[in-house]
Structure 1
Amino acid sequence: MSVKHAILGFLYQKPRHGYEIKTEFEQMVHKQWPLNTGQIYTTIDRLVRDKFVEPLEGEDQDRKQYMILEEGKKELLDWLLQPVERSLFKDEFYFKLLCAQKINYQDISAMINGQKAKTMQSILQMTRVKTTLNETKEAAMLLLLEGSLLHLEADLRWLELAEAAINSK
């Protein structure tokens, strides 16, 4: 996730201060993705440097609000149109599995079972959040959760295939 673009998205709506961005971001993702306050202000400083945002004049230095500039709007809209590349080879578990095979690790089944348990735990957590969200009817967040659940279910299926392949050797 691009913190830079998340900030630009919030500022696209109206000027805000950093803590307000943090609070609204965490509300938007239902606290599933905590954002570090320091990271927000560091990113805002870079956005000011790059002339994507600027502080509002005469604002209290402790609660300085920022507004998006035309270059920032252009950056945000360009980013929204860019397809996202997913690289499965950078998945940590896939890499662990490759390393385990490389060193002839004897307990790959335990690795896979542990990963399956972790994946099931994530599915249960996402399902609980989805159940809560069904009451609020937040369409975009529901779509995000549905996509996450589909990815997790595919991961679980892949783990079952990997386990079957290893057990057949």
Structure 2
Amino acid sequence: MSVKYGILTLLSVKPHHGYELKIELDSLLGLKGKINPGQIYTTLDRLTRDGFVVSPGMDEQERKLYDIEWKGKEELNKWLLEPVAYNNTKEDFFFKWSCAREINSALEKKMLTQQKQLIVKEVMELTKLKTELLIQGDENRYLLVTGTLLHLEADLNWINQVENRVL
């Protein structure tokens, strides 16, 4: 996740002050986590320096506002159109599993079992969250959770195939 592009996204909707950006970025991140407030201001400084963002002044509570410049909109649109590569071979578990196979580790079966248990636990928690989001009408987070569940299902299927072939 790029804080830079999250900020440009939010500023393309309307001017914001730093704390508003932090709150809304946390919401955009959904399940991924929280943004450090210092990272917001550092990124805003760089965006201002690079001509992507400008400060039109203060709001009624004396908080510095930021707005997107035309150059920032162009940068955001360029980024939105860049495809995102999916590289599951670089994910932590797949790397760890490959290392275990490389050294013919006796721990491989236990690793796979533990990973499956973790995935099943996550699936149960996310399924509950998905239902809650549907009831709340939070379409964006509902779709995000749905996508995450599909990835977890694929990971479970992969582990089952590995177990059936090698163990």
In the alignment, what sits opposite 1:140?
140
In the alignment, what sits opposite 1:149?
149
Take 1:86 and 1:145, find their aligned partners in 2: how far apart are those partners? 18
Take 1:30 and 1:90, find their aligned partners in 2: how far apart are those partners? 23
Unaligned runs of 5+ residues in structure 2 are none
Native 8 Å contact 1:55 1:64 kept in 2: yes
Native 8 Å contact 1:109 1:166 kept in 2: no
Following superposition of structure 1 onto structure 2, how do residues 13-162 of structure 1 map, counting pairs within 5 Å? 13-30=13-30, 32-57=32-57, 63-162=63-162
Deviations 1:128-164 (A, max 9, x none): 2211110132333322221111111000111111122
Secondary structure at 2:66's aligned position in 1? Answer: strand
Native 8 Å contact 1:29 1:141 kept in 2: no
Amino acid aligned to 2:97: L
Q: Provide the aligned C-alpha RMSD in A.
A: 2.0
Take 1:31 and 1:94, find their aligned partners in 2: how far apart are those partners? 21
Deviations 1:95-138 (A, max 9, x none): 11111111121111111111111111221222122111101323
Take 2:40 and 2:121, find their aligned partners in 1: how far apart are those partners? 30
Take 2:97 and 2:58, find their aligned partners in 1: how far apart are those partners? 56
Native 8 Å contact 1:22 1:35 kept in 2: yes
Take 1:129 and 1:29, find their aligned partners in 2: how far apart are those partners? 15
Take 2:66 and 2:125, find their aligned partners in 1: how far apart are those partners? 35
Native 8 Å contact 1:26 1:33 kept in 2: yes
Change (3 A) 1:7 1:155: same
Amino acid aligned to 1:155: D
How far residue 15 of structure 1 moved from its aligned partner, in angstroms, is 0.8
How far residue 59 of structure 1 moved from its aligned partner, in angstroms, is 6.0
TM-score normalized by the length of structure 1: 0.89
Take 2:27 and 2:156, find their aligned partners in 1: how far apart are those partners? 29
Native 8 Å contact 2:53 2:69 kept in 1: yes
Take 2:129 and 2:68, find their aligned partners in 1: how far apart are those partners? 32
Unaligned runs of 5+ residues in structure 1 are none
Q: How many residue pairs were aligned?
A: 167
